Amino acid sequence: MDSLNYNDVNFIERFLHAFKILGGNELGFIDYDHFKEILELENSTDIKEILDLIKTENHVKDNKLDFVSLCSSVLSVKAIFNSALENGKVAIQSPGINTNTFTRNKGSARIKSPYSRSISHIPSEKGFNKFLKGVLFNVNGDMLSYRYQLEILENAVIEIYATAITNKGETTPDIPVELLIFQDGKNKTFVTSSSVLNEDGYCAIKYALKKGKYILIPILLKWDLLRKSNSFDSLNLESLIHVKEESSVVLTPACERALKVIFDCIDLDENGLLNQTEFDYFIRHVSGETAAEEWSTIEDNFKTENEQLTFEGFVELYRLVLQTDPSDVMNMLQHMGMNESLELENALPFRLAVRTVGGKFNLQPSPISSYKEVADKVLRKVAVEQGVSRKIRNMNDLFIFTCRLPYRATLVVQNQSHSKVKVRLDCSKSMNCESHHGSLDFTVDVLPRTCIIGHHLFPVDISEDWTVECTEYLN
């Protein structure tokens, strides 16, 4: 076999990791009957092809699958297995395997509705669960979210997902809130991201995490499709307050409703009160300053309960601020995603759920911060490492990578040349599909020796099958 390059070494490392999770021992062997049973859960000619390959090339010895010999062979058929590695992480919890991840690239790809297959669920009555609320923001062109620190107290298989909350207070799987996990340390090493749908249809992570501390970052990639805007021009003081003859200030019903929406958004533990941490993170987001030193003033002057700020106290606080500096309130409303009609338009509340079997953990919120750059970097990396690649217009230094998940497909263009290129990505022949750009026909400028995300594609109706088909043009 030829010498291995960096991508091959990376591939082997990830393949070995998947083997260990599937029950492989430290010598690189896995029980063949167990491996075969997992693959045969779905009747597919592609699965039969993989099993035939394993037997034909003598990778099974004494009913044990030999990792070393298999890996040497797989390097020549990497496209078959590449995206299957991540699904290996959840096989110990998932009775069903998505055979789309094992198939070779055959042009356009039909992606079955995730509701047509079974993905296992960690039973809440048998696990250790915790829920925290959060908010995603799209303000002034930036994308932000609360972050969370997850401390795993002992090695455990863990399920993490987030449910979007509509303006009516209902949870919905139609808006896919995804999650990224990083090790909490100096290097913030990326661990994994949402890759499956749980039985309720939410983007989920099912992963064996080792004891330690991790950072969870919720992300939303569909802002343009949700038609979020930054319209705030016509909001004026009269929309917020009425001034009576005796100069007393009364909040308008619309203003009080908006404050209630905001209060509920920042009440992360959903106990109907704001603790010091929740209030501090809120003030940091809307003003850039900490409120830690002001908390004693809040407790002394506004209604509290169990040393936490009540909604009544929150309303009184902002009634006073409107009297003294209404521009601060205008700024707060805009940063919290309110539009000129005092409706939550540029923010999306969600509920984060973490559950596990057999292992305990701690979950704490962290301040709101931007996720746009880190999400772009991670998703480009995942697409290049795990996606199926092909040349664009038969050029040897220009590639497109397609990484398909049950609820999203990401297309990344990689330019290995020394010149800038402009590539048009026309996905208009895709079926039941929409792009995060709002248009399926989009052109990207790719700088030399870089890669860029061309499309995040989503099913319009996730209950129906959807296909991804892209034609590339050089401009």
**Of 20-24, 141-145, 205-209, 261-265, the least confident:** 20-24
Using pLDDT thresholds of 50, 70 and 90, give the confidence band for residue 21.
low
Residue 75 structure tokens: 């390097």
Q: pLDDT tens, 70-113?
A: 655 554 444 444 434 444 433 333 333 232 333 333 345 555 55
Q: pLDDT tens, 365-400?
A: 999 999 999 999 999 999 999 999 999 999 999 999
More confident call, 139 vs 184: 184
Say if residues 163 and 359 touch (Cβ distance below 8 Å): no
CB-count burial class (<10 Å; 0-12, 13-18, 19+) for 434: buried
Q: What is the pLDDT of residue 28?
A: 59
Examine the pLDDT at 33 and tell me if it is beyond 90. no
Residue 96 structure tokens: 């069903």
Q: What is the pLDDT of residue 185?
A: 84
State how far the Cα of 88 lies from the Cα of 90, in Å rounded to an integer.
5
Residue 418 structure tokens: 């020394």
Q: pLDDT tens, 204-261?
A: 998 888 999 999 999 999 887 665 555 556 666 666 766 565 556 788 888 899 999 9
Q: What is the pLDDT of residue 167?
A: 82
Q: What is the DSSP letter of 274?
A: B
Across the range 164-169, mean pLDDT stands at: 87
- Domains of the chain, CATH where assigned: 6-82 (1.10.238), 127-226+348-374 (2.60.120.380), 237-345 (1.10.238.10), 387-474 (2.60.40)
**Biggest CA pair distance of the chain:** 92
Partners of residue 453 on adjacent β-strands: 412
State how far the Cα of 230 lies from the Cα of 449, in Å rounded to an integer.
35
Say if residues 269 and 133 touch (Cβ distance below 8 Å): yes
> How many residues does this entry show for the chain?
475
Strand bridging mode 471-474 / 203-209: unpaired
374 membership: H or E segment, kind and range:
helix 372-386
More confident call, 112 vs 296: 296
Q: What is the DSSP letter of 420?
A: -
Examine the pLDDT at 318 and tell me if it is beyond 80. yes
Across the range 57-67, mean pLDDT stands at: 74
More confident call, 355 vs 85: 355
Using pLDDT thresholds of 50, 70 and 90, give the confidence band for residue 18.
low
pTM beyond 0.85 = no
Strand bridging mode 421-426 / 409-415: unpaired
- Nearest alpha carbon to residue 114 among 470, 466, 440: 466
Q: pLDDT tens, 407-460?
A: 999 999 999 999 999 999 999 999 999 999 999 999 999 999 999 999 999 999
Q: What is the pLDDT of residue 374?
A: 95
Chain-centre distance of CA 299, in angstroms? 37
Examine the pLDDT at 68 and tell me if it is beyond 70. no
Strand bridging mode 196-197 / 203-209: antiparallel
Rounded to the nearest integer, the mean pLDDT of the chain is 80
* Angle between helix 45-56 and 32-39 (nearest 10): 160
- Nearest alpha carbon to residue 173 among 197, 201, 143, 215: 201
Across the range 333-337, mean pLDDT stands at: 91
Q: What is the pLDDT of residue 81?
A: 46
